[in-house]
Amino acid sequence: MDASRQLYRLTSGFQVTQAVHVAATLRISDLLAEGPKSVTELAELTSSDPVALARLLRALSALGLYEATDDRYANTSLGDALRTDAPQSIAGWARYVGQGSQWQAYGALEHSVRTGETAFTSVHGESLWSYRAKHPAERELFDAAMLSVSTTQAEAIVSAYDFGRFPTVVDVGGGRGLLLSAVLSRYSGVEGVLFDQPSVVAEAVVGCRVVGGNFFEEAPEGSLHLLKSVLHDWADPEAIAILRTVRRAMPTDGRLLILEHLLDQAPDPVRTAFTDLNMLVMTGGQERTTDEYRALLAAAGLELHQTIPTSSDVFVIEAIPAR
């Protein structure tokens, strides 16, 4: 493929995002899980215009999500990954990335690049966090998206590190407890503590102690603390403040695991670079290099002990109290 055609495909990527987003929202792959269906059947089941739906399915088939035989469509392996019940489903992520508030924020990427400001805040007049607090439906979409992304990561993290050495594992900013549940399932003798905002942990389903609070102000004590996909949401001053809070809750022989991408060690540089760009647009945070995490930790009275790759894009960044 020549450079012009390749670049054309790249610049048309927004069309692919929306096409997959609509398929996920209509749950096309779920409907095809039981077997092939005609456009007429799918249109009736999704309350869609059959002619327009046929055009969407044609485009998605060209991308490899579906295959058509005698006007009946079936899932391919890509289409199966868009099913909500797939083992590594990305359906939640697909529904989230194409919805209004995020889509509009990305339209202001140029503003972020020119000014360094967060596009989401510029477009919506408030931070992503306050916006989600006012829009429960979008928060639900985000939670489902994080579940899609985190399921594979949780298994990779639990397989890469020995959590069984620690009596108590505290997941700070742990959401609904997906990672902590994976830890406790693998290590039955470990006590778990899930810590996040009261409104978040109220919906958690996990067999451990659940504590609501603000990680800028406090964190429960424990022998091992986890921060997964937390620090990349924040600029350096806020990230350091979170780390200092956790440091106060750590014993002298405690450990902290930061579970994030590393720009300088990324197994998939494209994905990590665009995850970093997403932080610029949405939260004002950033992905970081190993040395940048080392500096953040030093500012909070911690030191980087080691980095451990996992089978996902996320690294285990282990920190200990500064000596």
Q: What is the DSSP string of 309-323?
A: E-SSS-EEEEEEE--
Give the H or E element holding residue 226. strand 224-228
Residue with the two structure tokens 């899980």: 33
Contacts of 146 (CB under 8 A, 6+ apart): 92, 175, 229
Q: Which two tokens stand for residue 89?
A: 């489903």
Give the H or E element holding residue 150. helix 136-160
Strand partners, 315: 260, 309
DSSP state of 262: B
Within 13 Å of residue 275, how many CA atoms lie on the same side as its CB? 18
Q: Which two tokens stand for residue 211?
A: 């504590």
Q: Report the C-alpha dihedral over residues 56, 62, 65, 69, rounded to 10 degrees.
A: 90
Euclidean distance between CA atoms 169 and 256, whole angstroms: 10
Euclidean distance between CA atoms 104 and 282, whole angstroms: 10
Euclidean distance between CA atoms 205 and 201, whole angstroms: 8
Which among 21, 225, 232, 261 is annotated as catalytic?
Answer: 232
Q: How far is CA 10 from the centre of its chain?
A: 23
Catalytic status, residue 232: yes
Q: How distant, in Å, are the alpha carbons of 23, 36, 59, 89, 125 from that of 30?
A: 10, 11, 18, 11, 37
**Which of the residues are catalytic?**
232
